[in-house]
Structure formats: structure tokens, C-alpha cells
Amino acid sequence: MTATHVPGLPRVEDGQLISTNPATGEEAGRVPVADETAVTDAVTRARAAGLWWQGLGWEGRKTRLLRWRSLIVHRIDELAALTHSESGKPVTDGLMEAAAAIEHLDWAARNAKRVLGPRRVRTRLLVAEHTGHLEYQPYGVVGVIGPWNYPILTPVGPISGALAAGNAVVLKPSEYTPMVGQWLADTFAEVVPEHPVLQVVHGLGDVGGALCRAGVHKIAFTGSTATAKRVMAACAENLVPVVLEAGGKDALIVDADADVAAAADAAVWGAMTNAGQTCVGIERVYAVAPVYDRFVEAVVAKAATLRTGEEIGPITMPKQLGIIREHIEDALAKGGRAVLGGADAVQAPYVSPTVFVDVPADAAAQREETFGPTLTITKVADADEAVTRANDSPYGLGGAVFGKRDAIRIARRLRSGMVAVNGTLTFVGMGNLPFGGVGESGFGRIHGEDGLREFARAKSITVRRGPSLLPAMTFERTPAQVRQIVKALRLLYGRKP
């Protein structure tokens, strides 16, 4: 028997990756680890499957994707239970995560033809005798590399876009949640049994690296910023394009005219759902002075009702416990005050809700992704200071604003890909809104129209429809015709606006 076990990483025994429940240590299932050849073989199979899938056309693919959607709806309890058994997250959170995944799958399936299908574009002066046609063609094979924190939603978002656009997909789920990834591929095969249009390969990070180099035409990566950089470097070797959904340090701004009770409720939810292991989780709050005291009090009262092992599940990845502990200790050492939880909050595998005030801006808890049920609240003079402080971060994923009169204006000024006004994380629930970050949070978009275009190449076609009155693109043009073209340019574009 061969066994390799790097502390903190899932166990691999006899070529099998073993998934365990972080709360109980119980085995949740095992899957074979793919070697480099297996990854390349999967991509080779996917190329052929992708051609067949493309050949089904918009309607054929839509029908299959909607069947998959319905299957997931019917078996949602099974999926949520599986997610609970290998990531530890509460079953209700698993159900909600699956609900969001279903929303994105449904939207992508129904809208792919409208967004990506062929259309005519208006002709322009220089080639007036040609018509323009635009369509978005699939890349071929898309590699999807996923994290463990939302093992259903994070892969299903890019998978929905990629499949609806006509690509085949090879998924490399997180080594902490392989069974959910396997479930997705297995159930898809029930509605598309003909060809391996959605396959899964398992293993640690090296298998993700192998997928980047296995001849895929695009990689959709979701995970940490550090890994995103490695993925981009691996993809650069063959100019494989990437969409990178990386980490965050999202801020919530509470303005003077905010509904303080609602803001506190949403802050606690945004910070502590999934035990804070959320890329778009709220980690920092900037509350303006007039509402600050009431807000802190309401957050503490609310967060104090949450129980570890109930609403707050375990920390899925053991090494994250150390990072959370460091952030807590650093915040306290730098003068921060824990108004809830604090020094003893980390009791493996759980972290109890922790709320800090007075944490200086250079503390790790204000700058780095903590990924635990912790929150810092900082008092600011006004919304301008809140925006400046919120934007003082290399990350820029999501964010939230509570307020009335200026809330949308403040939302626009936040340096991030998404902002929820008078809510937190709500943009995840709309299939028609793109999702993605700026700066160290990555680039490119999944979900919505942009998320469909991310998985297709724009293809432009011009078609000559008659003889040229002013032939511009031929050696047959005469000097007089060139002068006429310049004259036309002056008429059309020469005037100052």
C-alpha cells in the first residue's frame, strides 16, 4: 500500500484521493488521482466530445442543459448532503449554494443563443459594399479549476457558461471537495450519455497544473490569488487564455442614513455565512460616526447568537485555522479590541464569531484575506473616507453599501467588480449579472452575458454584397477615388463635436 500524506492536505492512498468531513474526520468518499497522461487523455476525449456537442446546436444544448438543471433540482437534497459530508458546511447552506448554481445554469442555457448567436452588424464607410456578421464561437475545450469553499456554485458558474457556449469541459475540483465535482460530472453524463462533454480529473495542485498544459483552449480558474498567478504562468507557456476568479477582502460601508438594524443583519450574514469562507465575504466594515455605536452593538448582538457546529460550520481546510489565529493575534497585538470572540475563538475545527473594533489599517485582519467568521468594524468621518479606506486594498472583488440617498453613488466608486446595495452577496443570486474582480482579485467574468462571452471567441465575417462605388481595398483604386474617400471622411468625421 502506498500512502502519501502532506500535513494539512487531503490523504492520497493507493492512487486514491480520500475526502474527509472536516468536522468528524469521517471519510466522505474516494476517487482516483489522475496522472499527467490521464489528464491529457481527458482533454483529447473532450476535443472530440466538444465537436459533437457543438453540432447539437443552440436548441440541442439548451435542452440538455435544462434537463441537467431539472435533475439537480430533483436531487438537491442529495447534493447538499454530499457537500455537507465533505466540506462540513451546514446542509441549509449547501441547499442555498445549489439554488444559486441552478439559477446560473438556467440563465446560461436560456440566453446563450441570444448573446452568442450570429447577428448582422451595420456596414461602415470604408467598405460600404460589404455586410458585417458577428458570432461567438466556442473555444473547444475549457479547463475549469475549482476551490473547495463553494464546491457546487464555483464550478457550475463557469461550466454553465462554457457548455452553453458550445465547449466541452474538463473539471479539476478542489482536492478537499472531489466528491461534489464527481457528482456534477456523473449527473451531467445521465442527461448527456453519448459523449464525455463534461469530465472530471482529480488530484492536488499538480493535476491543475497538468490541466493548464494539456492542450485546453481556455482555463477558468477560481481559487486563491497566489495560485491564480501560478495558473496564469503555466497557461502563458502556450498562450492559453485565462479567466481568474481569485481572493478578496470585501468591505461594507454603512452611511449615515442607513437602516442600521438591516445593515448589521446583512454584515453578520455576509461575514459569517459559510463560516466566513466566502470569496465575496464581508471582512471589513466602515461605519460613519453617527451610526457607528448603534451598528457595533447590533452586530455583536446578532453575531453572538450564532453557534459553532450549527449556523457556523467547521473550517474546511485545516491550514486556514492557523491563518485565522494569526490574524486575530495580530489584530489584538496592534491595539484592536475584540467586542465578540477574540483570542480563544479558534477551537479546531471551529472558529467562533469574532468582531473587532479599532484595528489599525496595517493589521493583517484589515489587509489580507482572513477567510473565517471574523469582522473588523472601523469608525469613519463620512462616506468619502469610507470609500478611500475600502479602496485601499490590492483586492477588489465585491462589496456592499447600506444607505439611502448616496448609496448607489458610493457603490459606483468602490473599486470592485460587484457591489450589493442594502444587502450583502446578493449579486451572486442573479444569473444575468457578471461576476469577477479587479486587481489581485483577478480578471475576466463568469455569469451573465459577459460570462457567456468569456467562453467564446468573437468571429467576424464580412460579405461583399455588390460592386464597390469607392473601392478602398484594392490596387485597382484610382487617385481620384482615394481623394473622394478622403472627402467623404472630411464630411462625415471632420467636424469638431
Is there a contact between 401 and 407 (Cβ–Cβ < 8 Å)?
Answer: yes
Nearer to ligand NAD by Cβ, of 300 and 418: the residue is 418
Alpha carbon dihedral 255, 257, 259, 263, in 10-degree steps, equals: 0
Q: Of the listed 86, 103, 175, 245, which one is catalytic? A: 245
CA 47 to chain centre: 25
- Return the DSSP state at 126: G
Give residue number: closest CB to ligand NAD.
Answer: 208
Cell of 468: 464597390
- Closest contact distance (angstroms) between CB of 133 and ligand NAD is 34
- Distance, CA of 30 to CA of 175 (rounded, Å): 11
- Closest contact distance (angstroms) between CB of 428 and ligand NAD is 9
Nearer to ligand NAD by Cβ, of 116 and 200: the residue is 200
Is there a contact between 327 and 354 (Cβ–Cβ < 8 Å)?
Answer: no
Nearer to ligand NAD by Cβ, of 234 and 339: the residue is 234
Q: Is 279 a catalytic residue?
A: yes
The candidate with the shortest Cα–Cα distance to 265, out of 244, 246, 282, is 282
Nearer to ligand NAD by Cβ, of 9 and 71: the residue is 9
- Closest contact distance (angstroms) between CB of 177 and ligand NAD is 8
Site of grid cell 490523504 = 11
Is there a contact between 145 and 235 (Cβ–Cβ < 8 Å)?
Answer: no
Nearer to ligand NAD by Cβ, of 140 and 276: the residue is 276
- Closest contact distance (angstroms) between CB of 393 and ligand NAD is 13
Backbone φ and ψ of 170, nearest 5°: -115, 120
The candidate with the shortest Cα–Cα distance to 184, out of 91, 176, 192, is 192
Nearer to ligand NAD by Cβ, of 308 and 370: the residue is 370
* Full DSSP string of 75-92: THHHHHHHHHHHH---HH
CA dihedral sign, ordered 27, 32, 36, 41: negative
In sequence order, which residues have a C-beta less than 8 Å from that of residue 141 and are 6 or more positions away? Answer: 43, 46, 47, 50, 167, 168, 169, 170, 215, 216, 217, 218
- Closest contact distance (angstroms) between CB of 440 and ligand NAD is 10
- Closest contact distance (angstroms) between CB of 278 and ligand NAD is 7
Contact footprint for ligand NAD (CB under 6 A): 145-150, 154, 172, 174-175, 204-205, 208-209, 212, 222-224, 227, 230-231, 234, 245-248, 279, 317, 369, 397, 437, 442
- Distance, CA of 375 to CA of 497 (rounded, Å): 51
Nearer to ligand NAD by Cβ, of 263 and 418: the residue is 418
- Closest contact distance (angstroms) between CB of 341 and ligand NAD is 21
Nearer to ligand NAD by Cβ, of 36 and 259: the residue is 36
- Closest contact distance (angstroms) between CB of 207 and ligand NAD is 7
- Distance, CA of 328 to CA of 371 (rounded, Å): 12
Cell of 143: 479547463
Axis crossing angle, helix 260-272 with helix 289-303, rounded to the nearest 10: 50
Which CA distances in Å does 335 have to 100, 324, 365, 444?
Answer: 39, 17, 12, 38
Q: Is 235 a catalytic residue?
A: no
- Closest contact distance (angstroms) between CB of 244 and ligand NAD is 8
Nearer to ligand NAD by Cβ, of 20 and 174: the residue is 174
Q: Of the listed 175, 279, 311, 449, which one is catalytic? A: 279
* Full DSSP string of 272-317: HGGGG--TT-EEEEEEEHHHHHHHHHHHHHHHTT--BTTTB---SS
Which CA distances in Å does 416 have to 4, 212, 378, 450?
Answer: 40, 27, 19, 16
Q: List the catalytic residues.
A: 245, 279
